[in-house]
Amino acid sequence: MLASGGTRATATGTVATAIARALEASGIDGRQLAREAGVSEQTFESRDTRIDCSTLDRLVAMAAQACGNVAFVKAAAQHVPVVCHHLYFAMLASETGEDALRRAVRFRRVLSDEFDISLQVRGAYTGARFEAPEPRENPWVPSDWAAMGISTMGRALQLSPEECPSIVELRRPDPKDPSHLQDVLQCPIRYGMPTNEIFWPTSRMQERLPLANPQMVLDAERAVIDYLARIDQSRFEHRVRGVLMDSLPSATHERRRIAQKLGVSLRTLSRALAEEGTSYRDILEEVREILARSYLRDSTSTIGEIALRLGFSDTSAFSRAFRRWTDQAPTEYADRCVADADPASPLT
């Protein structure tokens, strides 16, 4: 299996760890089964290890056969934190559920080259459309796992075991026994649909999360960006994001200078990013937003100083951009951060 650019499609090695733990809950030696599927022992020792997606498909098929599809999927869905690396903590510390979902979309390649997720809005509901591999053996196990994992993540974000989606639609045919999905998702499920989608009320997705913490988000996102840059040097998207994270605080963001730091021409950089489905402007906007949130939390920085550090022409340009990203003025966001840090504040 090939990812974009002709490279081998890979997934985070932590998914093998999650599978091993799910198997152990059924009394099966998960590591031994993983080794039999072709997973190296190093995969369990380092979070940076990636495994070939064909190896992962083989492991999933063997795991499902060893303890049964239903038992395996239900057990594996409980190990979302293991699979998601620092992305899990970045999502937990996000401002809202929608913010957390946007983060999952932005950094989806942490999980796998073959897993895709996008933000969807349908009337009064906000959620995700996701695409999971459909291997020859047990083709619906990955999508069942993904749907249950996303739902489990929703509960973790809200710190509520009763939290459940309102709408779930799956490509898979109606199973003979849907109880494993119903037990976890706890909402009406429609089968045989064109796409996999899961939704919550938009009002709920826009509520402030109980563990919202801008500094924790920044630290976790830096770790995610560093991870992606380490494991996939072939993708310019990750390399540009990493360089900008280091360069923007000194107001250095010109495309030509970033291209020089990467050792390529400006034309090569633009073409490579276009082939990866993104652009320099998109990545610059993303990194500016990440850093802006962090700087605004630091009450020692003025709005003007932050605008200058992020390379904006003036305070007004920065304020317009920040409102576009967050639907808040920079001063509103900064005040909210102060209130969160002070439980006695009238804004809490």
Q: 329-343: per-residue pLDDT in tens?
A: 999 988 877 776 554
CB 16 within 8 A of CB 32: no
Q: pLDDT for 258-294, tens place per residue?
A: 899 899 999 999 999 999 889 999 999 989 998 898 8
Domains and CATH numbers, the chain: 4-205 (3.90.1520), 235-341 (1.10.10.60)
> What's the pLDDT at 1?
47
Residues 285, 277: Cα–Cα separation, whole Å: 15
Strand ranges for 208-308 from DSSP E: none
162-188 burial: b if 16+ Cβ within 10 Å, else e: ebebebbbbbbeebeebebbeebbebe
What's the first-to-final CA gap in the chain, in angstroms?
A: 50
The predicted model gives 150-157 an average pLDDT of 95
Strand-pair category, 50-52 with 189-190: unpaired
Q: Of 137, 116, 122, nearest to 201 (Cα)?
A: 122
Give the DSSP letter of residue 2: B
Chain mean pLDDT for the chain: 88
Which residues 6+ apart lie within 8 Å of 108 measured at CB?
A: 115, 116, 117
Percentage with pLDDT > 90 across the chain:
57
The predicted model gives 192-217 an average pLDDT of 94
**From residue 188, how far is each of 71, 113, 153, 204, 249 by CA, in Å?**
21, 30, 18, 18, 48
> What's the pLDDT at 251?
60
Q: pLDDT for 23-33, tens place per residue?
A: 998 899 999 99
Q: pLDDT for 74-84, tens place per residue?
A: 888 888 888 88
At what angle are helices 14-24 and 53-67 packed, to 10 degrees?
A: 10
CA geometry: angle 329, 127, 12, nearest 5 deg: 100
CB 86 within 8 A of CB 95: no
Q: pTM for this structure?
A: 0.81
